Structure 1
Amino acid sequence: MTSAKITGFTLILCITLGFLSSFAWFQKASVRNVLAESDFASGDPTAWPTGTCVAVDTTDDAGGYVYRDILAVCYEEGSNELYFRVDFLKLEGIDYAPYLNVYVLIDFEPGGQSYLPDYIWDGQVRGYEWELCIAVYNSSSATLYDLNWQNVSGLSWQFHDFQGMLACNVSKSTADDYGFTNGETVYIRVATVRDGQSGLRDICPNDSLSDGYWDGALASNSHTVTTKLAFVHHGNQHINPFTSGVVDDGQGHGFYRILDSHEEYGLPVNIHMSGVLITSLVWNNPSFLERIKNLTSRGLVEILGSVYGQHIMPYLDECLNTWALNKHKELCQRYFNATPRVAWVPERVWKYFLDNDFSNTGFEAVVLDGQTHHNDYCGCGNYHLTHKISTSYDVYAFFICERWYGTDFPGANSDWHLDFKKHWAGIVRAGDEKQICVYGDDWEKAAGVANWPTGNPNNYDSMIRWLAGAKPWIQVVKLSDYLDWYTQPTSGVTITITEDTYGGLKYWTGGSYDNWYNDFKYWVPYGCTKTAETLWKDVLQALNYSSSFNTSTPSGRLKELAMWTLASNLYETAWHEWDGSDWVLCGWGKEIWAHLRYAMILVKAANWTENPPATPQIYWEDVDDDGANELIMCNDKIYFVIERIGGRIVFAATKDGRVYIGNYMVQYRGTEGDYNDDDHVGALTDKWYTYNNHDYSHELYTVQIEVSNQTHVQAKMVSPDAYITKKATLRKGSYGLRVQYSQKYAGTLYVRLGSFSPDLETMLYEGKKVLQTLGSGGQGFMGWKNTVTNASAVVAWQYPGAAYSWAWTLTFAKMVEIKSLALNFCFDLTFAPLQNETEFAFSTLYSAYLNVYTSFAEGSKLVAAFYTYSGVQKANITVWRGVTPNWVALYMEVWHPLGLPIENVTLFLVDEEGNILSKVTSFLVTRAHLQARTEELKQKWTDAALEEKTVLMREIAEIDSQWPYAPG
């Protein structure tokens, strides 16, 4: 044999099969562990960093033997060792030892050996002749040849079957003897052969070898580009009690598995969580949101944006799209400290005009599909580059790679994964570092929940593990990083996507989602007289939304909740299901969409806060837009809606814009109509009457106005069989109702009181942690207090005839059930910002707020007595009547019975004969109160009508008259 002279040095690596994770060393008689090196654990594939790959080889060129098919070659210079790595298409699960030898030829300096050892080929290398050659025969046998065919020391090696990798170390002390110089370029060739047979089965770099020479070598300082790979998981569940089971089903499946994989292997992931899912987890699993926030802060999670309730955007008005995009962004900022730059488009249903919605809300890019959105509108043939998809705005599209489509997720080293390896290798060989392969699908799919294959989480974990070891030539990235790295669009192409969605949905809808939406558009929900489209348009028209609501005002808070309700109940707009013969509007969807009209109740309540009545009112109005009237009871403090079905209170809100009953954004399950379900139970629900073993929850009650005057209003509800009669009374200045029940026959009546959500808005943001339980079954009252705003919902049944039954938690609501002990019983419902003490607070010159939250051992009445500053009693009024011992929770506005200015008011506990038992609290109007009220009246003066100014002037004049006598 002769050696050819060359400049530089060449390395050829030959490998014979080995066992995964086993390693061996051959240095004549010495043995050394490759993992013992302190500077670089080359046997661990995850230790190899990005930038160490010097070549990605062609595939399917090893005669069909994947274990001899070279995939990639890597090199790294350490402080004591030279590290070489060869990746194969696949080793795991194959008995490759008898059939694989691997040779790595290494060239350090001009001159060297041109023939290959072990007679594996009778040709010669030409240029970059080798000084050392690694020959690996199996996991326990290898040789380090020098150019004179001598076995030299300094070699260690290890197979890693899972990664499909062979790692070899050559000591620098040995390399120095053959011309190596620190930091200089090393030239490498790799060949695989069949054990004991001549003939090269695969080589890198490639060459035809037809002339008997192997030309070319891999330079250690020439690194390949990397394939960019992004995982995008779309999590979408409605607000319901079941989302914790999607996070973790207790059987090794759930969203957490995906986060575990990325955290374990240190690779980033892109997550989109719908707004309804985030809100649901605020209630059900806030710790999971905290985990995502932590991973986001560590750079492992990228948060994607979208519309809050995942409505299908092209069919809804721009104002709703804008609100929903901003609301979702607000939640991402609040819970993850992240401002999304890339958006998930619901069901990837895109129409060209959506560019405006995304651009105007600050998004730079969206995720669409390569197979459809790109290929249907672009002839460039490469959806692995971003495209600009707007002629007016800088909005770009990432395209999902169609190779990911399927119900299963490919496990590492499966045939599906092998196809991906080839695909990713082809991207690297194309030489364009900007190409990105995007995976995008339901988070539930990879998590193995919600009817997706349960083997997917393990497959996903194995894939992420493999990719963690493929960092030298595959970079798993965040989409925002990609936007920052390159000038957009990376394709240089602008396309207009008129209309499209992903392939499966496009097929199901007959080519256009319009076909599905038209079914929804003309659908009339059960119990309504209007179509679904008319209902949502009615709400938007009533809201008159432009860009935002002033949520510092009561009206603005309620309108924000109205939009929240609308967006939640347009979830997956017009989705269909296969009924065996055709695609029809899905049942679960109709149950949700039918209740979008409840947003109108919040609009009506918002209007009430803008002009509350001076005296209690009771009237009929269609506040939920279903074509049938509901009974409204309100005063200047609180607003109730009573539904004839069940004679139930289905909504309650106070003048400060706080909702106490009305968790309408929570998913409706099991009904399209105005009925209770598991998470929506109206107050005064007559659940069970033991006399006839009957549930009256959904019976049609006769509801009538029984009393309406200047001091109070009363509604009367009678069951269809007249067995149950209930009356609800609302007084002037009161924050609650006195409810009286009468049963015709003996038997126990179970009455459910819910769904209580004291300050729903705060609960939606803060979850269960803000709720404090008030009272207990044994105390004769029970309720819940919002510790942020003091908003409290309390039921007090201390009067004879009623007792506690049980209490439980709904989704964003609480509920208590009481039972009758006699034919007649009564209880109080209070919805107010209760304090922990009993006191008066200044309201107007003629009224004061009274907060009572305490127990009384004796007495039967609480009486407010009004005095002048000189101590002359002018009048008194009974504010509470009951039996003791009793706990009283009361919040109301008390007016001077004679319409006079208040100077001094004292609350007494008295017995039935009117004897004073104790003084409870008192209140004195001071100059500070009068000054503050004067400033308030001056502010009202500016916008007041002429008749209103007359009333304001009277109060100002009487303040002036009272000022000289008021204490300072």
Structure 2
Amino acid sequence: MIKQGMPFAIVHHANQYLITNGYLNRPGISEIIGSPDASCGLRAVMHLHSLYNIPFHLHISGTFIEACAWYDPLFLEEIKDLQAHRLVEIIGSTYAQNIMTLFDCKQNKFQIQEELDLIHTWIHPNRQAVKGFWVPERVWDTHKLAKLLTDSTLKNHGFQYVLVDDRLLLQNDARKKYDQKPIFQPELFQAYRIRNGNGLIALPLSYPIRISVPFEKKIQAKNFSQIFDQLYKANQQEQNLIAIYGDDMEKVAAIPPWNPQALIHYQHFLDWLSSNKRIEPVLLQQWLSNQVIESEIKIGTGSYRELATEFGAGEDYQNWANSKAWAPYQSILNKTWKKLNKLSTHKNVDCSLLTLAHKHFSACTYETAWHDAVNSIHSDGNQSIAMPAPWARSLASHAKTSSILIKAAIWKKDHGSTNFLHCDIADIDDDGHKEVILRNHLIAAVFSPNFGGRLIYLISYLSNQDALVVGNPSDDWNWLEEPNDFMDSPMNHPGAFADHRFEHDKYKIHSLLANKQRTELILMNDQKDSPAFGLIKRFTIEHHSSQIHASYEQIPPSILPLSLDIGLSPDYLQLLRNGRRNILPYQHKNRKGFQNGNLIAWMEPKSNHINWIFPRNPIFGHGFCLSFHITSSSAALCLGIATHPNRKEDEI
């Protein structure tokens, strides 16, 4: 019997970190997603598939899902709509696209489960329907990964197939020969069971097809057509043949630094595809359901051609993972993971803060140890050897913040005592700078004297629930490596009590005390070349209070009016996972803030000459900003946390 068209699958890989808008050196999330009219960005690619009625596969990293859910949840609804019309199959992977072969099974499983949960929350109601797996940076090792991917305790009960590069079906000299001259071989378009792979199916991503799409040049269209002429003939005799295109979605969406005309070329490709009756676009799960996969093959360790060879990472990625330049950052990841492992084994320490610490660590492993290679499209062209990318160094450096969250999880046991009141000075995140900690049994506040005298983290233990209320550590820091510094552009990590123009000023600890009634910290601006030199910030936490009383004293007249920003992220873990949909504005008398579930974070001016103003950046990362003007030499205000199970309309 003569077969129908040659099966062809399109796989788009949408992979971004927890990005925001307002960058000076890269596209923001709005540019990447694209405008609501679907004329640009990833939206435009999805619109073209809908227009031509051509199905595709989509992997979207968990970090990107969370960024989309915060800034443009409609985009995720549009993906769901395409699923309803059977135009897209969702592919699973890890939450933060960590290079899996560099981590143990426990960490990789956490990442997979977190990704499946986010897919369930935002894209697909049934985790068990997600059966395909995209390997981060396609770095594959059967021994390390196959057992995990087929683990029945995964929330989708295990994956059915994994996408690997076609070159991994070849070994040693055969692979090298293919890399040098990728001639047509029908067996590289065949589905196989992976030897020693627990039944996992390998579906090969075609290198010749990948470099032919989109049709930017006539030779690409010609090569693509020739491949399918050969495949169509081979498909009459061979079994389980399928052609698969897989690559970054940003490439065809024309996201910089990719070709700005790529979207037009991709439309030409889809137009050609829709008119070719000998090619049948398919969804992989449906196609596999009609196949009997009996052939077995060894899938060697490796990745895609450019990464393994031209970029210099090596087949197993170890050239980058073990590079001398990356070693300090790998050390940070190793130390942090050791702390997490140690604490997670304690039966009496199990809380949301520990989960957040683990999740934050996972986010910091995004594309682990990525190097900007000399001949990569992402390189600036000014380097002679591959070096760790600035954003990769920054991410790994911010894994240190997990140490603060780990400490906060340990502190929870102290907050069972209503008599507890404590203050301390310590470098709790190993960043080389000492922080100041004020705690009672309801809240814990962490201040950074070295970076603007700001409140960088505030933890709530109200109603025996632990949550981060100030601080959004997992959100993008761009190239900023110092964990507690102020991020200027974009203003993505304000913390609280950030004084406009003086956010980087150094403060000295003037005094720190604790007695039975209160704990108090007095910081003095010690930045001698700053107009704010001599300004005093006084922070007080009273016994049995969930409020921080703050006063500004000796404000130099030359800097008045002084603007300050207060960043609030009530229950940051839930904001990451659920976006803004549970957030409500809160207002009661002169208090303003935000409510997330039953947790409220609010601000209130407590003196004259301090006024509410519109924030310069109302929404940042996963948080909301409140702002004030101070017009006199002193002012007082209060930051508070409360629980409110029954919200009243008169408080909105």
The answer as to 2:435 corresponding to 1:630 is yes
Return the letter of the residue paired with 1:573: T
Aligned to 1:706, which of 506, 512, 531? 512
Aligned to 1:769, which of 581, 596, 605? 581
Return the letter of the residue paired with 1:657: D
Aligned to 1:258, which of 18, 36, 45? 45
Secondary structure of the 1:611 match is: helix
- Judged with a 3 Å threshold, the aligned counterparts in structure 2 of structure 1 residues 474 and 408 are, in CA distance, closer, same or farther, namely closer
Residue number in structure 1 paired with 2:338: 538
Residue number in structure 1 paired with 2:82: 295
Residue number in structure 2 paired with 1:248: 34
CA-to-aligned-CA distance 1:757-812 (integer Å, 9 cap, x gap): 11222222332333223349xx75432222xx132221111412322233211121
CA-to-aligned-CA distance 1:552-611 (integer Å, 9 cap, x gap): x99421122112211111111111113421111111221222101112211211122233
The answer as to 2:466 corresponding to 1:657 is yes
- Judged with a 3 Å threshold, the aligned counterparts in structure 2 of structure 1 residues 371 and 796 are, in CA distance, closer, same or farther, namely same
Residue number in structure 1 paired with 2:203: 398
Whether the 8 Å contact between 2:66 and 2:577 is mirrored in structure 1 is yes
Secondary structure of the 2:322 match is: helix
Residue number in structure 2 paired with 1:815: 625
Bigger Rg over Cα:
1
Aligned to 1:232, which of 11, 18, 25? 11
Query: What is the Cα deviation at residue 536 of structure 1?
Result: 3.4
Residue number in structure 2 paired with 1:951: none
Return the letter of the residue paired with 1:505: L
RMSD between aligned residues: 2.7
Residue number in structure 1 paired with 2:497: 684
Whether the 8 Å contact between 1:793 and 1:830 is mirrored in structure 2 is yes
CA-to-aligned-CA distance 1:399-423 (integer Å, 9 cap, x gap): 1111124386126x94422332232
Supply the distance in 2 between the matched residues of 1:730 and 1:265 (Cα, whole angstroms).
Answer: 62
Residue number in structure 1 paired with 2:268: 462
Supply the distance in 2 between the matched residues of 1:390 and 1:732 (Cα, whole angstroms).
Answer: 64
Query: What is the Cα deviation at residue 377 of structure 1?
Result: 8.7
Supply the distance in 1 between the matched residues of 2:647 and 2:349 (Cα, whole angstroms).
Answer: 25
Query: What is the Cα deviation at residue 322 of structure 1?
Result: 0.5
Residue number in structure 1 paired with 2:298: 495
Whether the 8 Å contact between 1:752 and 1:815 is mirrored in structure 2 is no
Residue number in structure 2 paired with 1:600: 403
Supply the distance in 2 between the matched residues of 1:792 and 1:377 (Cα, whole angstroms).
Answer: 63
Whether the 8 Å contact between 2:562 and 2:631 is mirrored in structure 1 is no
Query: What is the Cα deviation at residue 704 of structure 1?
Result: 5.4
Residue number in structure 2 paired with 1:672: 481
The answer as to 2:642 corresponding to 1:832 is yes
Query: What is the Cα deviation at residue 510 of structure 1?
Result: 5.3
Aligned to 1:586, which of 376, 382, 389? 389
Matches within 5 A, 1:875-954: none
The answer as to 2:150 corresponding to 1:359 is yes
Whether the 8 Å contact between 1:715 and 1:728 is mirrored in structure 2 is yes
Q: Point out the more displaced range, 679-688 or 732-741.
A: 679-688
Residue number in structure 2 paired with 1:760: 572
- Give structure 1 regions of 4+ aligned residues with deviation exceeding 6 angstroms: 377-381, 835-838
Whether the 8 Å contact between 1:569 and 1:667 is mirrored in structure 2 is no
Matches within 5 A, 1:89-100: none
Query: What is the Cα deviation at residue 707 of structure 1?
Result: 2.4
Query: What is the Cα deviation at residue 532 of structure 1?
Result: 2.7
The answer as to 2:562 corresponding to 1:750 is yes
Return the letter of the residue paired with 2:400: R
Residue number in structure 2 paired with 1:726: 537
Residue number in structure 1 paired with 2:58: 271
Query: What is the Cα deviation at residue 233 of structure 1?
Result: 0.4
- Judged with a 3 Å threshold, the aligned counterparts in structure 2 of structure 1 residues 713 and 494 are, in CA distance, closer, same or farther, namely same
What is the TM-score when the length of structure 1 is the normalising length? 0.58
Whether the 8 Å contact between 1:239 and 1:279 is mirrored in structure 2 is yes
The answer as to 2:585 corresponding to 1:790 is no
Please list every run of 5 or more consecutive structure 1 residues that lacks an aligned counterpart in the other structure.
Answer: 1-221, 689-694, 839-852, 855-888, 890-968
Whether the 8 Å contact between 1:754 and 1:813 is mirrored in structure 2 is no
Supply the distance in 2 between the matched residues of 1:467 and 1:510 (Cα, whole angstroms).
Answer: 35
- Judged with a 3 Å threshold, the aligned counterparts in structure 2 of structure 1 residues 738 and 327 are, in CA distance, closer, same or farther, namely same
Secondary structure of the 1:699 match is: coil
> Between Structure 1 and Structure 2, which shows a larger proportion of helix residues?
2
Query: What is the Cα deviation at residue 270 of structure 1?
Result: 0.5
Residue number in structure 1 paired with 2:100: 313
> Between Structure 1 and Structure 2, which shows a larger proportion of strand residues?
1
Whether the 8 Å contact between 1:618 and 1:631 is mirrored in structure 2 is yes
Matches within 5 A, 1:64-75: none
Supply the distance in 2 between the matched residues of 1:792 and 1:383 (Cα, whole angstroms).
Answer: 57
Supply the distance in 2 between the matched residues of 1:555 and 1:640 (Cα, whole angstroms).
Answer: 21
Supply the distance in 2 between the matched residues of 1:811 and 1:600 (Cα, whole angstroms).
Answer: 21
Supply the distance in 2 between the matched residues of 1:532 and 1:601 (Cα, whole angstroms).
Answer: 14
Return the letter of the residue paired with 2:622: F
Residue number in structure 1 paired with 2:255: 449
Query: What is the Cα deviation at residue 443 of structure 1?
Result: 0.3
Residue number in structure 2 paired with 1:344: 134
Whether the 8 Å contact between 1:780 and 1:804 is mirrored in structure 2 is no
Whether the 8 Å contact between 2:435 and 2:448 is mirrored in structure 1 is yes
What is the TM-score when the length of structure 2 is the normalising length? 0.85
Query: What is the Cα deviation at residue 462 of structure 1?
Result: 2.7
Q: Point out the more displaced range, 373-382 or 618-627.
A: 373-382
- Judged with a 3 Å threshold, the aligned counterparts in structure 2 of structure 1 residues 586 and 826 are, in CA distance, closer, same or farther, namely same
- Judged with a 3 Å threshold, the aligned counterparts in structure 2 of structure 1 residues 584 and 837 are, in CA distance, closer, same or farther, namely closer
Residue number in structure 2 paired with 1:7: none
The answer as to 2:579 corresponding to 1:800 is no
- Judged with a 3 Å threshold, the aligned counterparts in structure 2 of structure 1 residues 520 and 638 are, in CA distance, closer, same or farther, namely farther
Query: What is the Cα deviation at residue 284 of structure 1?
Result: 1.0
Supply the distance in 1 between the matched residues of 2:279 and 2:160 (Cα, whole angstroms).
Answer: 25
- Judged with a 3 Å threshold, the aligned counterparts in structure 2 of structure 1 residues 671 and 760 are, in CA distance, closer, same or farther, namely same
| Percent identical | 23
Please list every run of 5 or more consecutive structure 2 residues that lacks an aligned counterpart in the other structure.
Answer: 21-27, 176-184, 375-381
Return the letter of the residue paired with 2:167: Q
Secondary structure of the 1:421 match is: helix
Whether the 8 Å contact between 2:168 and 2:299 is mirrored in structure 1 is no
Whether the 8 Å contact between 1:373 and 1:502 is mirrored in structure 2 is no
Q: Aligned pairs, how many?
A: 595
Return the letter of the residue paired with 1:821: T
Query: What is the Cα deviation at residue 226 of structure 1?
Result: 3.0
Residue number in structure 2 paired with 1:962: none
Query: What is the Cα deviation at residue 522 of structure 1?
Result: 5.2
Query: What is the Cα deviation at residue 450 of structure 1?
Result: 2.8
Aligned to 2:363, which of 568, 571, 594? 568
Residue number in structure 1 paired with 2:314: 511
